[in-house]
Amino acid sequence: QVQLVESGGGVVQPGRSLRLSCAASGFSFSTYALHWVRQAPGKGLEWVAGISSGGRDKYYADSVKGRFTISRDDSKDTLYLQMNSLRLEDTAVYYCGRLGYCVRGSCYYYGMDVWGQGTTVTVSS
Amino acid sequence: IVLTQSPGTLSLSPGERATLSCRASQIVNNNYLAWYQKKPGQAPRLLIYGASTRATGVPDRFSGSGSGTDFTLTINRLEPEDFAVYYCQRYHSSWTFGQGTKVEIK
């Protein structure tokens, strides 16, 4: 069964750090690009960060650049989001998702077809 | 790139057709444009990718069209489970979402 499961959310004070994890199963994790998307209370979806298959390329939204770091451990089939210097406006449900795969030098993109169930991050003093 | 969705809210009755628009500030190369359905407490669900290809398991009452900078999601014969918020997203080189269109029961 193809699945992504996030963990690591919680309540944290402004300025502190938190690391989210996204464990994958049921597919060839290393071949897929993976992304984080969040939804703040009452707001729309916001793309946060992405990482290519192999981990060489990393991309960030301006709102988190310099504070968040995306990484992956293909030996553990796990995606991470290290969140530092957290702000009140980072409060949201964070989702991981897979978006495209690369095989034998060719890459195929077809939207984020598999998503985790989300983990809630609350930044509050 | 900025994606602008319209209208913000669509009030319709079951059985009616919904037409949602997504306009990009720049050309979306290779039609890397997707549509998602989002319900409260659930993860987003991919409906359409490549502007017009239905994802696996998506009913054929959902259809996508458009190219370049103008895209449309059409939902024919709205079912009760279709009332939700819909987002468009460019998914290559830039992964921005539109602000969403809420389809609500009239």
Of the CA atoms within 13 Å of residue A18, those in its CB half-sphere come to 22
Check CB contact of A37 with chain B, cutoff 8 Å.
Answer: yes
φ and ψ at residue B3, rounded to 5 degrees = -110, 125
Q: What is the pLDDT of residues A56-80, one digit of tens each?
A: 999 999 999 999 999 999 999 999 9
Q: Choose the mutation target among A27, A34, A39, A102 for the interface with B, i.e. most B CBs under 10 Å.
A: A39
Measured between beta carbons, which residues in chain A are less than 8 angstroms from residue B88? none
Give me the pLDDT at residue B19, please. Answer: 98
Identify the closest residue of chain A to B92 by CA–CA distance: A109
DSSP-derived secondary structure letter, A12? E
Q: What is the DSSP string of B65-93?
A: EEETTEEEEEE-S--GGG-SEEEEEE-BS
Low-confidence ranges of chain B (pLDDT < 70): none
**Contact: A111, B55; criterion CB under 8 Å:** yes
Nearest of A33, A6, A55 to residue A111 by alpha carbon: A33
Give me the pLDDT at residue B68, please. Answer: 96
Low-confidence ranges of chain A (pLDDT < 50): none
Give me the pLDDT at residue A25, please. Answer: 98
Give me the pLDDT at residue B93, please. Answer: 86
- Kindly provide the residue ranges of all beta strands, DSSP E only, lying in chain B, ordered along the sequence: 3-6, 9-12, 18-24, 33-38, 45-49, 53-54, 62-67, 70-75, 85-90, 101-105
**Contact: A112, B44; criterion CB under 8 Å:** yes
Give me the pLDDT at residue A83, please. Answer: 98
Give me the pLDDT at residue A37, please. Answer: 98
Give me the pLDDT at residue B34, please. Answer: 98
